[in-house]
Amino acid sequence: MTSTAFPAAPDLFSHRKYWAQRFGIAPTLPMSRAEMDELGWDSCDVILVTGDAYIDHPSFGMALIGRLLEAQGFRVGIISQPDWQSAADFKKLGRPNLFFGVTGGNMDSMVNRYTSDKKIRSNDAYTPDGAAGKRPDRAVNVYSHRCREAFKDVPIIIGGIEASLRRIAHYDYWSDTVRKSVLLDAKADLLVYGNAERQIVEIAHRLAGGEPVSQLTGIRGTVHFVKAIPESWLVKDSTDIDKPGAPMLPVDPYQEQPPCDKKPEAESSGEKVIQFNKLLAKSRRTQTVIRLPAYEAVKDDRILYAHTSRIMHAETNPGNARALIQQHGNRQVWINPPPIPLTTKEMDGVFDLPYSRLPHREYGKANIPAFEMIQHSVNIMRGCFGGCSFCSITEHEGRIIQSRSEDSIIKEIEAIRDTSPAFTGHISDLGGPTANMYRLACKDEKIEAACRKPSCVYPGICPNLNTDHSHLIKLYRRARALPGIKKIFIASGLRYDLAVESPEYVKELVTHHVGGYLKIAPEHTEQGPLSKMMKPGIGTYDRFKEMFDKYSQEAGKEQYLIPYFIAAHPGTTDNDMLNLALWLKSNGFRANQVQAFLPSPMAIATAMYHSGKDTLHKVSRKADDIFIPKSIKQRRLHKAFLRYHDPKNWPLLREALKDMGRADLIGNGKQHLVPSFQPGLKGIGPASVTSKAQVFKTKYTGLNSQKSPKNKAYSGNKNKTR
**Is the pLDDT at 722 greater than 50, yes or no?**
no
- Confidence class of residue 316 from pLDDT cuts 50, 70 and 90? very high
Residue 421's φ and ψ, nearest 5 degrees, are -70, -20
Beta strands in 283-376 (DSSP E): 288-291, 323-328, 331-335
- At 274, is the pLDDT very low, low, confident or very high (cuts 50, 70, 90)? low
Q: What is the pLDDT of residues 83-138, one digit of tens each?
A: 999 999 999 999 999 999 999 999 999 999 999 999 999 999 999 999 999 999 99
Asked if residues 254 and 205 have their Cβ atoms less than 8 Å apart, the reply is no
- pLDDT at 367 > cutoff 60: yes
Q: What is the mean pLDDT of residues 334-355?
A: 97
Residues in the chain: 722
Q: Does residue 552 carry a pLDDT above 90?
A: yes
* pLDDT band (50, 70, 90) for residue 285: confident
8 A C-beta contact, residue 236 and residue 290: yes
Determine which of 350-359, 392-401, 567-576 has the lowest per-residue pLDDT on average: 392-401
- 712 against 159, higher pLDDT: 159
Sorting pLDDT into bands at 50, 70 and 90, what band is 591?
confident
Per residue in 250-268, pLDDT (tens digit) is: 344 444 444 333 333 444 4
Q: What confidence tier does 491 reach under pLDDT thresholds 50, 70, 90?
A: very high
The CA–CA distances, whole Å, from 392 to 15, 19, 247, 454, 584 equal 32, 38, 27, 13, 27
In the structure, what pLDDT confidence band is assigned to residue 719 with cuts at 50, 70 and 90? very low
> What's phi and psi for 707, nearest 5 deg?
-110, 135
C-alpha 599/C-alpha 124 separation (Å) is 20
Which SS3 state, helix, strand or coil, does residue 478 take? helix
DSSP code at position 135: S
Where does residue 484 fall: left (phi above 0), alpha (psi -120 to 50 degrees), or beta otherwise? left
Pairing state of beta strands 402-403 and 381-382?
antiparallel
Could you give all domains of the chain from N- to C-terminal order, each with its CATH number?
19-217 (3.40.50), 222-335 (no CATH), 376-504 (3.30.750.210), 514-722 (3.30.750.200)
- pLDDT class of 272 with cuts at 50, 70, 90: low
Strand order in the sheet with 560-567: 517-523, 560-567, 595-596
List CB contacts of 478: < 8 A, sequence separation 6 or more.
406, 410
Cα separation, 692 vs 65, in Å, equals: 38
Alpha carbon distance, N-terminus to C-terminus of the chain: 24
* pLDDT tens profile 593-648: 788 999 999 999 999 999 999 999 999 888 899 999 999 999 999 999 999 999 99
Position with higher pLDDT, 266 vs 469: 469
Kindly calculate the radius of gyration of the chain based on its CA atoms and give it in whole angstroms.
26
**3-class SS at 194?**
coil
Pairing of strands 273-274, 288-291: unpaired
pLDDT digits (tens, 9 = 90+) for 397-443: 999 999 999 999 999 999 999 999 999 999 999 999 999 999 999 99
- Residue 33 makes CB contacts below 8 A (sequence gap 6+) with 92, 93, 94
At 490 the pLDDT is 96
Average confidence (pLDDT) over 555-574: 96
Supply the pLDDT for residue 410: 98
pLDDT of residue 259: 38
Q: 367 and 128 in contact (C-beta within 8 Å)?
A: yes
3-class SS string, 27-77 = CCCCCCHHHHHHHCCCCCCEEEEECCCCECCCCCHHHHHHHHHHHCCCCEE
Q: Which amino acid is at 715?
A: S
Element (H, E) at 712: none
Average pLDDT, the chain: 89
Looking at residue 5, what is its pLDDT? 73
Lowest mean per-residue pLDDT among 277-281, 386-390, 566-570: 277-281
Alpha-carbon gap, residue 218 to 370, rounded angstroms? 36
Residue 47 pLDDT exceeds 70:
yes
Give the DSSP letter of residue 294: P
pLDDT at 716: 34
Residue 214 DSSP class: G
| pLDDT of amino acid 392 | 86
Question: What residues does 562 pair with on adjacent strands?
Answer: 519
pLDDT digits (tens, 9 = 90+) for 384-401: 999 999 998 888 999 999
Type of residue at 412:
E
Is 685's pLDDT higher than 50?
A: no
pLDDT attached to residue 232: 86
Residue 566 near residue 596, CB atoms below 8 Å: yes
Collapsed DSSP state (helix, strand, coil) of residue 221: coil
Contacts of 363-369 with C-beta under 8 Å, sequence gap 24+, read: 363/53, 363/128, 366/128, 366/129, 367/128, 367/129, 367/130, 368/53, 368/55, 368/125, 368/126, 368/127, 368/128, 368/129, 368/130, 369/123, 369/125, 369/126, 369/130
Over range 200-220, report the average pLDDT: 97
Alpha helices in 315-391 (DSSP H): 344-351, 369-374
Q: Is 626 exposed, middle or buried (0-12, 13-18, 19+ CB in 10 A)?
A: buried
SS3 category, 78: strand
**Separation between Cα atoms, residue 713 and residue 722, nearest integer Å:** 25
Query: Tens digits of per-residue pLDDT, 138-193?
Result: 999 999 999 999 999 999 999 999 999 999 999 999 999 999 999 999 999 999 99
- Region 68-88 average pLDDT: 98
How many whole angstroms from its chain centre is CA 330? 32
pTM for this structure?
0.89
Strand partners, 158: 102, 191
Residue type at position 392: S
Is residue 695 pLDDT above 60, yes or no?
Answer: no
693-696-702 Cα angle (round to 5): 155
Check: CB of residue 412 under 8 Å from CB of residue 429.
no
SS3 for 631?
coil
528: nearest Cα among 564, 497, 563, 569: 569
Binning pLDDT at 50, 70 and 90, where does residue 8 land?
Answer: confident
278, pLDDT greater than 60: no
61 phi/psi in degrees, rounded to 5: -55, -45
Q: What is the pLDDT of residue 690?
A: 35
Cα 386 to Cα 493: distance, rounded to the nearest angstrom = 11
Asked whether the predicted pLDDT for residue 310 surpasses 70, the reply is: yes
Would you say residue 194 has pLDDT above 90?
Answer: yes
Helices (H) and strands (E) in the chain, counts: 26, 22
Q: Which of the two residues, 720 and 244, has the higher pLDDT score?
A: 244
CA-to-CA distance for 438 and 479, rounded, in angstroms? 15
| The pLDDT of residue 231 | 87
Residue-level pLDDT at 431? 95
Q: How confident is the model at residue 282 (pLDDT cuts 50, 70, 90)?
A: low
Question: Residue 620 burial by CB count (10 A; 0-12/13-18/19+): exposed, middle or buried?
Answer: middle
Phi and psi torsions of 299, nearest 5°: -70, -25
320 and 452 in contact (C-beta within 8 Å)?
yes
What average pLDDT score do residues 474-486 get?
98
